[in-house]
Amino acid sequence: MTDTPTQLFIGGSWSDAADGATMPVDDPATGEILAHVADAGAKDAQRAEEAAVQAQEEWARAAPRVRSEILRRAYEIVIERTDELAHLMTAEMGKPLAEARGEVAYAAEFFRWFSEEAVRIEGGHGVLPDGRNRMLLSRRPVGPCLLITPWNFPLAMGTRKIGPAIAAGCTMILKPAPQTPLSSLALAAILKEAGLPDGVLNVVTTSRAGEVCEPLLRGGRIRKLSFTGSTNVGRLLLAQSAEAVVRTSMELGGNAPFIVFEDADLDKAVDGAMVAKMRNMGEACTAANRFFVHSSLAEEFGRRLAERMGALVVGPGTRDGVDVGPLIDRAGRAKVEELVADAVERGARVLVGGRTPEGPGCFYPPTVLTDVASDSRLMDTEIFGPVAAILTFDDEDEVIRRANDTPWGLVGYVFTEGLDRALRVSERLEVGMVGVNTGLVSNPAAPFGGVKQSGLGREGGRVGLDEFLEYQYLAVPVR
Ligand code: NAP
């Protein structure tokens, strides 16, 4: 912790906020203050914008191989420092160390993946239909970007944006969530060490998100916004981006259905449920939010899930053997408590958990609710906590209709042993991603993203790079 930077990273140098403001970073397991980091204001944002704009032209001309090798070096350094980065993440965010190590590997993989993609940005050449004109197509970086990330995956949400932006030749300003700025600052130091030129990446940590971001979006010099966070904030930022017609990528909230059909393998379904629900203590946009279980299996599924959930060890993420760390803060935990109380009031039965423990830290126990009424608030709210809510169904058409009955469409999970059914149901689900007999879809080589109010565009995969590139077409008549 002692070596972790706590200042703003602008133009390749570390500095305090112009007005000297700082903000505390808390450990959610104890409530203790871990560090004070610089709290940027509008003046700092302007300075970061200037640095990104100044660096853009030269960076766009850097050879793809140069960009690729910086990413590759950064990948190697991140992997070498897995333990250090995992401890930092656990301290500021709360996830158990084993999960934090997993996130370091996942985050690093975006750098490796995009280091490989950086040298494969292709254009094209063609003869137009009139036979005389030629078309030359090239791909160019979109320009300086604003990247805004949430607290739930402090490292991976950054690398998933920084990786393709570097590969494409864009400069950028990263604004991490105020709860988890330390991981982003550590990442900036690693990229500098890996040889990233000054000004290509600038990091502004702040508790004044609106003051910092709105002028950047409206000012006309930032050409791209890549945002990961809640749908409500995404909507606001889309409106702010409209003024200067800023290109946007939006990775927003989810309300994932997890469907267990009567022909499912129950072992696979329970294993899948544990991953889809409990990864990151349920604080994931991909978290299963609504479990629809065929009525013939619901009791057995609920019993087995409750047994597995009840056996998980809750405690500080740094302690050996802990499976479930604290939630991010008291507000996050209060929301989970209210959603559970509302479901119980409407008739849900608590199979396990459901009671907030005494003592410090924002802990909440793994909880399984069954007989959940369809009008419960947790049916149309992201729970963002370790609570599985089970409903039953009898018919395929009915469950698809209920699964799609939400404004969100990020991911869905389908458990069935029938290939026909798996494909048929997946095609009818209004989601960007489907886990078929698996509770985990995230992979840097696959396009991650949602439909409806879960977002616009994709991150990762080959298309993740397209989000940071524009086409330029040259018309060349040949006489
Ligand atoms: P959030 O409240 O929307 O915040 C996300 C980021 O936006 C934070 O850095 C936040 O900073 C910033 N922000 C908030 N208001 C802003 C404004 N007016 N201008 C500029 N920036 C602003 O979301 P969260 O609670 O951190 O994260 C949880 C949400 O993220 C969930 O809905 C989850 O589903 C979603 N998520 C989606 C994906 C995906 O890939 N689809 C991945 C992970 C998480 P402040 O906190 O300072 O306001």
Residue with tokens 């009898």: 394
Q: How far apart are alpha carbons 155 and 455 in whole angstroms?
A: 20
- Ligand 1 atom 4: the closest Cα is on which residue? 229
- Provide, for the chain, the percentages of residues in helix, strand and coil under a 3-state DSSP scheme, each rounded to the nearest 5: 40, 20, 40
Please work out whether the CB of residue 229 comes within 6 Å of at least one atom of ligand 1. Answer: yes
Is residue 253 scored above 80 in pLDDT? yes
Please work out whether the CB of residue 150 comes within 6 Å of at least one atom of ligand 1. Answer: yes
Judge if pTM exceeds 0.75: yes
pLDDT in tens, 325-340: 999 999 999 999 999 9
Tokens of 269: 């379904």
- So where are the chain's domains? 8-252+454-475, 256-443
Ligand 1 centroid distance, CA of 178 (Å): 10
Q: Assess contact for 285 and 253: CB atoms under 8 A.
A: yes
The full DSSP string for 322-349 is: --B---S-HHHHHHHHHHHHHHHHTT-E
Is residue 218 scored above 70 in pLDDT? yes
Give the model's confidence band at 2: pLDDT under 50 very low, under 70 low, under 90 confident, else very high. Answer: low
pLDDT recorded at residue 73: 98
Q: What is the mean pLDDT of the chain?
A: 97
Which ligand 1 atom is nearest residue 459's CA? Answer: 40
pLDDT recorded at residue 381: 96
pLDDT recorded at residue 10: 98
Give the model's confidence band at 205: pLDDT under 50 very low, under 70 low, under 90 confident, else very high. Answer: very high
Please work out whether the CB of residue 381 comes within 6 Å of at least one atom of ligand 1. Answer: no
pLDDT recorded at residue 341: 98
Where are the alpha helices (H) located in 219-352, listed in sequence order? Answer: 231-242, 266-278, 298-310, 330-345
Is residue 54 scored above 90 in pLDDT? yes
Please work out whether the CB of residue 439 comes within 6 Å of at least one atom of ligand 1. Answer: no
pLDDT recorded at residue 351: 98
Q: Can you tell me the mean pLDDT for 182-211?
A: 98
pLDDT recorded at residue 479: 87
Closest Cα partner for 255 from 384, 391, 392? 384
pLDDT recorded at residue 1: 59
Q: What is the distance, to the nearest Å, from the Cα of residue 120 to the centroid of all Cα atoms in its chain?
A: 25
Closest Cα partner for 367 from 336, 391, 392? 336
**Which residues participate in catalysis according to the annotation?**
251, 285
Q: Pocket of ligand 1, candidates 233, 249, 252, 286: which has the most ligand atoms within 8 Å of its Cβ, to mutate? A: 233
Where are the alpha helices (H) located in 367-418, listed in sequence order? Answer: 396-404
Closest Cα partner for 444 from 183, 194, 112? 112
Please work out whether the CB of residue 373 comes within 6 Å of at least one atom of ligand 1. Answer: no
CATH 2.60.120.260 describes domain 8-252+454-475: no
Q: How far apart are alpha carbons 476 and 479 in whole angstroms?
A: 10
Closest Cα partner for 273 from 254, 285, 289, 294? 289
pLDDT recorded at residue 382: 97
Give the model's confidence band at 359: pLDDT under 50 very low, under 70 low, under 90 confident, else very high. Answer: confident
Ligand 1 centroid distance, CA of 246 (Å): 19
Amino acid at 245: V
Where are the alpha helices (H) located in 81-221, listed in sequence order? Answer: 82-93, 97-117, 156-168, 181-193, 209-218
How much of the chain exceeds pLDDT 70, in percent? 100
pLDDT recorded at residue 179: 97
How much of the chain exceeds pLDDT 90, in percent? 99
Q: How far is CA 270 from CA 7, 88, 304, 389, 422, in A?
A: 45, 31, 7, 14, 17
Q: Assess contact for 424 and 408: CB atoms under 8 A.
A: no
Q: Considering the domain 256-443 in this protein, what is its CATH number?
A: 3.40.309.10
